[in-house]
Amino acid sequence: MVLDYEETFSPVAKMTSVQVLISLASSMGWKMWQLDVKNAFLYGEVDREIYMSQPPGFISKTSPNHVCRLKKAIYELKQAPRAWYGKIAQYLLFYGFHVSNSDPSMFVKKYNNMHV
């Protein structure tokens, strides 16, 4: 298995998917909700060892040349968007959603003859 550690992209909803969804919801009388996950990028898990310099204000007096190993993604880490997508996708797949064939950023679930 070959891992691409430079793979940092994260899928974003296609505008046509959003337009079709809004159009369907309007014509079918569906209710729509949206949500925002605060600090979402901080929930992503890194899949390799990543090190950073000690942040200003937290530099160790006894080991000022040591570095910090990240256990989670942080803002400004180029892998953070992809790590967040991996985390939310794992969660949604666990709860029975599946990835749309036409848009990898759209997850669908059938529940009691409804689409969620």
The 10s digit of each residue's pLDDT in 25-68 is 999 998 888 889 999 999 999 988 999 999 888 898 999 999 99
Q: What does pTM read for this prediction?
A: 0.77
The 10s digit of each residue's pLDDT in 74-83 is 998 989 999 9
Structural domain boundaries in the chain: 35-115
pLDDT of residue 6: 64
What is the full DSSP assignment across the chain?
Answer: ----TT--------HHHHHHHHHHHHHHT--------TTGGGG---SS--EEEPPTT---SS-TT-EEE-SS--TT-TTHHHHHHHHHHHHHHHTT-EE-SS-TT-EE-EETTEE-
Of 45, 108, 107, the C-alpha closest to 82 is: 45
Specify the higher pLDDT residue, 4 or 47.
47
